[in-house]
Amino acid sequence: MNRNALNDLLVSYENSAPDNLYEFDYHFSMLFYELYKDSPFSQIPDVPFMFMGIDDWQGMSLRCGVWQYYENGDFETGKLQRVTDYLSSHGENDWADVFASGIHDYANEIYQDDPVSHAVGYPEQWLEESGKIDDWIYENENYIYEWKRRLILDHKDDVLSLANDKYFI
């Protein structure tokens, strides 16, 4: 995406009504994904990393339950803790606590597929906790959308610096 197109997207994002913010998430997620799809998470700058992480977390919750986000993220050691640490270091302590409550040892082989039934045997407590997280995400949906917008707009120059002519939305 070239700089002018990205700037236009940022202006529209900034001026969008809160109920329409979700319409922009796709564009930023795809931009960041295309730029960092082959990068280890530890090498992705904070803004793209956090936007993609929180957007995936929220989206997974709305689609099929947040436990699957944690299950997938647990296989990359440190990835989920990076989200928690960022939220905490930016004054989102309650949110960080909610996020951290879903981090468990999903990658442990004792919880992997049963070869016969293909059932995953996660402890019931983990699934109950993820249900509470899903509820929190639902109850704070607008706040999360606004937070993602602030993240992008507070770092507008950094986001604009990612623009190039090789990627188009």
Tell me the pTM: 0.87
CB 54 within 8 A of CB 83: yes
Distance CA 33, CA 87 (A): 21
Report which listed range, 77-81, 123-127, 145-149, is most confident. Answer: 145-149
pLDDT at 116: 57
12-34: average pLDDT: 91
DSSP for 67-119, written as a single string: HHHHHHHTTSTTHHHHHHHHHHHTT-HHHHHHHHTT---TT-GGGSPPTTT--
**Confidence class of residue 165 from pLDDT cuts 50, 70 and 90?**
very low
Rounded (10°) CA dihedral 5, 147, 141, 59: 60
Q: Residue 119 pLDDT more than 80?
A: no
Average pLDDT, rounded, for the chain:
88
Tokens of 138: 């639902």
Quick one: DSSP state of residue 64?
A: T
pLDDT higher at 31 or 74: 31
Q: In the structure, how many helices (H) and strands (E) does the chain have? A: 9, 0
pLDDT higher at 36 or 77: 36
Q: Residue 118 pLDDT more than 70?
A: no
5-28: average pLDDT: 91
95-112 pLDDT tens trace:
999 999 999 887 777 776
- Please report, for residues 39, 113, 120, the alpha-carbon distance to residue 116 in angstroms, rounded to integers and kept in the order given: 36, 8, 11
CB 95 within 8 A of CB 54: no
39-63: average pLDDT: 94
